[in-house]
Amino acid sequence: MGELEQAIELAVKKVASKMQVKQILSGTAIEVGELTCSVEREDSPTLFDVRLNAIDDELESCFTVYPAEGSAVLVAIIENMKTEAVVIRCSEVAKVKVKIGDKTLVTDKDGFVFNDGTNGMVKLAEMVSWMQKVSTDMKTLKTLLANSVVAGNGAPLAIVFNPSTPAPEKGTFEDTKIKH
């Protein structure tokens, strides 16, 4: 073998030794938590503390997919260290969490939760319908007060009732940042 061939062989070996072996493993998601899950594998050891996000720091913004318990998952090994793994695909999703700054959205089979919400979103059509009935009742009350006579002398009551609440409109109650 000539010197040039030896030099090329050494260079290739040097570069090859620095390359990381990329591994994708398959298994079944179990014990799914907020940041990690375990992955059972057929004829292989269970992988524990498999990350749901590639970065395990406290993230300002992230998109996290939580695999359903028992769903098939694909796991990537980070930097060729079996103790550092991340779920990259799953066959079934239990929930999804999106965090951008201090805003969050979590969706699962039960619905959507914005910013750890404690209240349900307004059912706009029902609320406007109810408010229209209240507005009609207030107009009826105004008419009744203006036309009711005082028992005994027959004169109308000296009560002036002018409601200051405007008629309800959809735009008054609609949060256009949330669509459903």
Answer yes or no: is 119 within a domain.
Answer: no
More confident residue, 61 or 163: 61
- The mean pLDDT of 109-124, rounded to a whole number, is 81
Report the number of distinct structural domains present in the chain: 2
Is residue 179 in a domain?
no
Domain presence at residue 103? yes
**Burial class (CB within 10 angstroms; exposed 0-12, middle 13-18, buried 19+) of 72:** middle
Q: Is the pLDDT of residue 82 over 70?
A: yes
Cβ burial, residue 120 (10 Å; 0-12/13-18/19+): exposed
Do residue 157 and residue 91 come from a single domain? no
Question: What is the extent of the structural domain holding 14?
Answer: 3-114
Q: In terms of pLDDT, which residue wins out, 91 or 136?
A: 91
What is the distance between the alpha carbons of residues 116 and 118, in angstroms, rounded to a whole number? 7
| One domain, residues 76 and 142 | no
Residue 87's SS3 state is: strand
In a domain, 102, yes or no: yes
Let me know whether 35 and 97 are in one domain.
yes
pLDDT (average), residues 45-52: 94
Same domain, 23 and 76: yes
Which of residues 152 and 148 earns the better pLDDT score? 148
Indicate whether 100 and 133 sit together in one domain: no
Of 53, 45, 47, the closest CA to residue 29 belongs to 47
Does the pLDDT value for residue 119 go beyond 80?
no
Same domain as 131, residue 109 = no
Q: Is 178 within a domain?
A: no
Whether residue 108 is contained in a domain is answered as yes
Q: Are residues 88 and 145 in the same domain?
A: no
Q: What is the predicted pLDDT for the residue at 179?
A: 66
Q: Is 159's pLDDT higher than 70? A: no
Per residue in 7-44, pLDDT (tens digit) is 778 777 766 565 555 789 999 999 999 999 999 999 99
Residue 35 neighbours by CB under 8 Å, 6+ apart: 51, 52, 53, 56
Compute the mean pLDDT over every residue in the chain, rounded to the nearest whole number: 83
144 in a structural domain: yes
| Rounded distance between C-alpha atoms, residue 101 and residue 118, angstroms | 19
pLDDT value, residue 175: 73
Q: Would you say 71 and 56 are in contact if contact means Cβ atoms under 8 Å apart? A: no
Q: What CA–CA distance (Å, rounded) separates 63 from 52?
A: 10
Give 7's DSSP letter: H
User: 97 or 137, which is more confident?
Assistant: 97
Spell out the residues 6+ positions from residue 132 whose beta carbon is closer than 8 angstroms to its own. Answer: 167, 168
153 and 68 housed in the same domain: no
Question: Is 15 part of any domain?
Answer: yes
Claim to verify: residue 106 and residue 133 sit in the same structural domain: no
